[in-house]
Amino acid sequence: MPLDLSRRSLFTGAAGLTVSGLAGAGLAGCSQTAPSGTTDAAFPPGAIDPHLLGPAEGVALLSRNENPYGPSQSALDMIEYAASKGAYYANQEAAVSLMSMIAEKNGVDPEQVVLTTGSGEVLSAIAVLYGPRGPIVAPRLFWDTTALYAANLGMAEIQRVPLTDEMEIDLAAIEAAVTPDTGLVQLCNPNNPTGLVSDPATFQAAVRRMAATTTVLVDEAYIELSDDPEANSCVPLISEGHDVIVTRTFSKIYGMAGIRLGYAIASAETAAAIRPVVMSWSPCTSYAAGIGCYNDDAFIDFSKSKVTEARDMVFATLDTLGLDYLPSQTNFVYFKSGLEANAVQAAMAERLISVRGQYMDYNEWTRVSMGKVEDVERFCRALPELIEA
Ligand SMILES: Cc1ncc(COP(=O)(O)O)c(C=O)c1O
């Protein structure tokens, strides 16, 4: 099928979605409320209150799974250039150029790639598209923001399947829950907040079988951080003809969470069905940044080495304290402190260290992100004070 390059086909918005629906799309850790106490006088031309962008001075931001070493210089150079062209809507050629780069690296056609403002947007679009077809079957614990978005709109019901005793995705139980009435299976690999990667052979065999009955969405936001991204990815299953959608993001290893760029890979037909449900047009700065850094292997390797350095430090601290943790292959670690997760969060906040609070009823588990190595060091020094108090 030829690639339809019309702006309409690439960027059509969804007419029926409401303003409250948009506000409900809240993305991890972001707030759409206006900053309080700021006046024009606080922002002389050319200046900005540094507290409004990135962590405030002295704060170790270890709660949102960002990569503080980004964006790469290759992305920054392109952002600066693109910003100078910010009077204009992004040219579709920029989108097609990036789609082609992604397609080439993944052995698919450009028309199989859907670009969005962060992967959250395409995940929301998928939830809205497939939710009305039947329940979204998912592990009990996964990054559920976008499935909840469709649920909040009354467009989806989430059917949660308990994790195994090892807190892995219970693939057998998920498979058993899938019926012809299932709207979508949504899996996150590596999973968030557990950080666990499923065994590739077992995972891919289960995805192939389930995709014979329903569409399987695999959220690979953290795949580049895993030990063997190529072996772990489900993109080859799409080329084999299975009904599988894979989503990825520039927010994690590429260090561009605030720039907003993500994508889905699917069959050309599925990609064409998703595009009209996507709600916005990405900024020219995000396309340009993506083009700049997508193949910047030196930056990717550097980022991965920083994550590994920080993660080893966290593992060592947890070992010393005798605490249970999951063997993460991501830029965050989920560990059992034995203390109330929200109390750990509050005690860390007193020390200007930001970690995640409680997930569901996992009240003794805390997720800490691998931020700057020196910030993770601070966390590692603070944790024994809490545990041994
Ligand atoms: C598993 C997972 N998928 C997707 C996202 C969305 O990220 P973004 O919209 O920045 O691409 C996140 C954000 O933290 C995530 O953890």
The whole-number pLDDT of residue 44 equals: 59
Assign residue 361 the CATH number of its domain: 3.90.1150.10
**Do residue 302 and residue 234 come from a single domain?**
no
Does residue 13 lie within any of the structural domains? no
- With a 6 Å cutoff on the Cβ, whether 219 touches ligand 1 is yes
- The one-letter code for the residue type at 385 is E
The whole-number pLDDT of residue 12 equals: 30
How many domains does the chain fold into?
2
Stretch 31-51: mean pLDDT, rounded?
A: 52
Residue 34 or residue 331, greater confidence: 331
> What's the pLDDT band for 51 if we cut at 50, 70, 90?
confident
In this predicted model, what pLDDT tens digit does every residue of 281-314 receive, in sequence order?
Answer: 899 999 999 999 999 999 999 999 999 999 999 9
- With a 6 Å cutoff on the Cβ, whether 223 touches ligand 1 is no
Q: Over the chain, what is the mean pLDDT?
A: 90
**Do residue 184 and residue 287 come from a single domain?**
yes
Residue 41 has pLDDT above 70, yes or no: no
Residue 18 has pLDDT above 70, yes or no: no
Residue 121 has pLDDT above 90, yes or no: yes
> What's the pLDDT band for 52 if we cut at 50, 70, 90?
confident
Region of 58 (left: φ > 0; alpha: ψ -120 to 50; beta: rest) is: left
**Do residue 106 and residue 154 come from a single domain?**
yes
Residue 16 has pLDDT above 50, yes or no: no
The whole-number pLDDT of residue 28 equals: 30
Domain boundary residue among 293, 313, 332? 293
Closest to 256 measured CA to CA, from 69, 54, 26, 70: 70
Does residue 56 lie within any of the structural domains? no
Assign residue 244 the CATH number of its domain: 3.40.640.10
User: Which residue range(s) make up the domain with 165?
Assistant: 73-293
Which of 15-24, 194-203, 287-296 has the lowest average pLDDT?
15-24
In this predicted model, what pLDDT tens digit does every residue of 340-352 receive, in sequence order?
Answer: 999 999 999 999 9
Ligand 1 atom at shortest distance from the alpha carbon of 120: 9
The whole-number pLDDT of residue 188 equals: 98
The whole-number pLDDT of residue 25 equals: 22
- With a 6 Å cutoff on the Cβ, whether 63 touches ligand 1 is no
**Do residue 178 and residue 245 come from a single domain?**
yes
**Do residue 199 and residue 91 come from a single domain?**
yes
**Do residue 232 and residue 302 come from a single domain?**
no
Q: Ligand 1 pocket test: which of 249, 252, 334 has the largest number of ligand atoms within 8 Å of its C-beta?
A: 249
The whole-number pLDDT of residue 42 equals: 54
Q: What percent of the chain has pLDDT over 70?
A: 87
Q: Would you say 250 and 262 are in contact if contact means Cβ atoms under 8 Å apart?
A: yes
**Do residue 229 and residue 363 come from a single domain?**
no
| Distance linking the first and last C-alpha atoms of the chain | 64
The whole-number pLDDT of residue 89 equals: 96
Domain boundary residue among 247, 267, 293? 293
Domain boundary residue among 272, 293, 314? 293
Q: What is the sign, positive or negative, of the torsion defined by CA atoms of 332, 254, 298, 189?
A: positive
Does residue 239 lie within any of the structural domains? yes
> What's the pLDDT band for 9 if we cut at 50, 70, 90?
very low
Does residue 38 lie within any of the structural domains? no
- With a 6 Å cutoff on the Cβ, whether 188 touches ligand 1 is yes
**Do residue 78 and residue 225 come from a single domain?**
yes
In this predicted model, what pLDDT tens digit does every residue of 305-334 receive, in sequence order?
Answer: 999 999 999 999 999 999 999 999 999 999
**Do residue 242 and residue 306 come from a single domain?**
no
CA distance linking residue 264 with residue 278, whole number of Å? 11
CA distance linking residue 66 with residue 250, whole number of Å? 10
Ligand 1 atom at shortest distance from the alpha carbon of 123: 4
The whole-number pLDDT of residue 175 equals: 98
* Angle, alpha carbons 57-61-67 (nearest 5°): 110
Residue 273 has pLDDT above 50, yes or no: yes
> What's the pLDDT band for 46 if we cut at 50, 70, 90?
low
In this predicted model, what pLDDT tens digit does every residue of 199-245 receive, in sequence order?
Answer: 999 999 999 999 999 999 999 999 999 999 999 999 999 999 999 99
Q: Quote the ligand 1 centre to 261 CA distance (angstroms).
A: 10
Does residue 162 lie within any of the structural domains? yes
- With a 6 Å cutoff on the Cβ, whether 257 touches ligand 1 is yes
Residue 130 makes CB contacts below 8 A (sequence gap 6+) with: 136, 156, 183, 184, 215, 217
